[in-house]
Amino acid sequence: MIEIKDVTKSYGRQKVLQNVSFEIMEGELFGLLGPNGAGKSTLIDILTGIQSMDSGDIFINGKSIKTDKVEIRKHLGLVPQDIALLEELNAVDNLEYFGGLYGLAGAELKSQIEKLLEVAGLTDKKKEKVKNYSGGMKRRLNIAVAMLHNPSILILDEPTVGVDAQSRQHIFDYIQSLAEQGTTILYTSHYMEEIEALCKRVFILDLGEEVAYGTKEEVKKLVGHTQTVALTLDRVPAGFDEVLKNSENGIQFVTVDGQEIALTIDQTIFSMMKLIEQVEQAQLVIKSVNVKETTLEEAFLQLTGKTLRD
C-alpha cells in the first residue's frame, strides 16, 4: 500500500507540489493524470527517493520514505519515460546485466529472465539486438527490466509513448497480467483512453495541486449534468468552434478533429434545435450526430480547462 500525505515541494519560490495526498491500495492499478508541468515527474522522483520533499511524508507498506528509503527501494520497480536499455546487446544480455545490478545471479536470475521474456512476449526475439526492436518491444523489455527483482510496486511513467496501436495493446496486456499477479501499479499517461481502460481510480494533478481524486465515475460526477454531443459535418470552417462556444446554448467546451466536432454541454441549458439552426445558418451539412455520456478526458478538460497534452 502507498500512502502519500500532504507532500509539498518547491524550487525557490515556485511551488511544484502543494499538499498532495492520496492512497493506492495493494494490488491496485492506479492512474496519475496531469498536463505537462503538473508535477507528476516530481512526485515520482520523490516517491522513488530521487528527490526529497519539503514537507509531508510517503509511506510504503507502513514504512516512511524519509527513514526507510533503502529498504523501500527494494520493493519498487521504475519504468522511466525514456527507454533505458543497452541497444547493442540482446534482450537476455540486457536482463543479465541489469539483474546483476540488482544482485541477482545464477539459476535464480536465469529463471526470472525466462519468465519475464515469456510474459513480455519476447521469447522468440530474445537473441536479437535491442537496436533492431520496435518501439513497443523496447517498452516491454524496459518493463521486464524493472520487474527483475520482483518488486511489489511498479511505477510506469508514460509507458506507451512513441508506440503504435498494436504494440500499445501488447503493453496493456503485459501490465494487466502483472496487476493480476498482485503487483501494485502506479500508471501515468498522456493518453486518457489508456487510464479509462486500465484504471478504476485516478488522481488528477494540475499546477501541483489536487483537481480530483476517486473512481472514474466519481470524477465524472464532479462536472455535473454534462453530456457530449459528437457531430460529423461536411466541413468545419475556421472559427466555427468559437461561434458555438459563444452561442449561449450551454456549450462548455468544443474540440475539433477534422470534420468532427465534440461539444461538452450542460443538459439543463442545451437545445439541440438551436444547434441544428446554427449549423444550417453556417450552410453546413450534418452527416451524423451522437449523444453520449461524458468521458474521463472530457471531465478532465472541464476540471482543468486544458487538455492532457497541454
Q: Are 160 and 190 in contact (CB under 8 A)?
A: no
Query: Taking all residues of the chain, what is their mean pLDDT, rounded to a whole number?
Result: 91
What is the average per-residue pLDDT within 208-214? 94
Residues 47, 212: Cα–Cα separation, whole Å: 20
pLDDT in tens, 245-268: 999 999 988 999 999 999 988 888
What are the residue ranges spanned by the domains of the chain? 2-216, 224-293
Q: Are 293 and 264 in contact (CB under 8 A)?
A: no
Angle between helices 106-120 and 165-180 (to 10 degrees): 130
- The single residue listed with the C-alpha cell 508535477 is 39
pLDDT given at position 194? 86
Does 310 have pLDDT greater than 60?
no
Coil vs helix vs strand at 270:
coil
Residues 120, 92: Cα–Cα separation, whole Å: 12
What is the average per-residue pLDDT within 216-238? 87
What is the average per-residue pLDDT within 34-57? 92
pLDDT given at position 307? 61
How many CA atoms within 13 Å lie on the side-chain side of 308? Answer: 19
Angle between helices 106-120 and 135-146 (to 10 degrees): 140
What is the average per-residue pLDDT within 289-299? 83
What is the average per-residue pLDDT within 49-67? 95
Fold of the domain spanning 2-216? Rossmann fold (3.40.50)
Q: Which three cell numbers stand for residue 96?
A: 543479465
pLDDT in tens, 100-142: 999 999 999 999 999 999 988 899 999 999 999 998 899 999 9
pLDDT in tens, 27-41: 999 999 888 788 999
Does 308 have pLDDT greater than 70?
no
Q: Are 31 and 202 in contact (CB under 8 A)?
A: yes
Tell which wins on pLDDT, 163 or 18: 18
Lowest mean pLDDT among 108-117, 190-199, 283-292: 190-199
Residues 91, 105: Cα–Cα separation, whole Å: 16
Query: How many residues does this entry show for the chain?
Result: 310
Does 239 have pLDDT greater than 60?
yes
pLDDT given at position 50? 92
Q: What is the CATH number of domain 224-293?
A: 3.30.70.100
pLDDT in tens, 78-94: 998 889 999 999 999 99
pLDDT in tens, 138-184: 999 999 999 999 999 999 988 888 777 777 888 888 889 889 999 99
What percent of the chain has pLDDT above 90? Answer: 66
Scanning 147-246, the segments in alpha helix (DSSP H) are 165-180, 192-198, 216-221, 240-245
pLDDT given at position 241? 94
pLDDT given at position 220? 82
Q: Dihedral, CA atoms, 242, 246, 249, 250, nearest 10 degrees?
A: 80
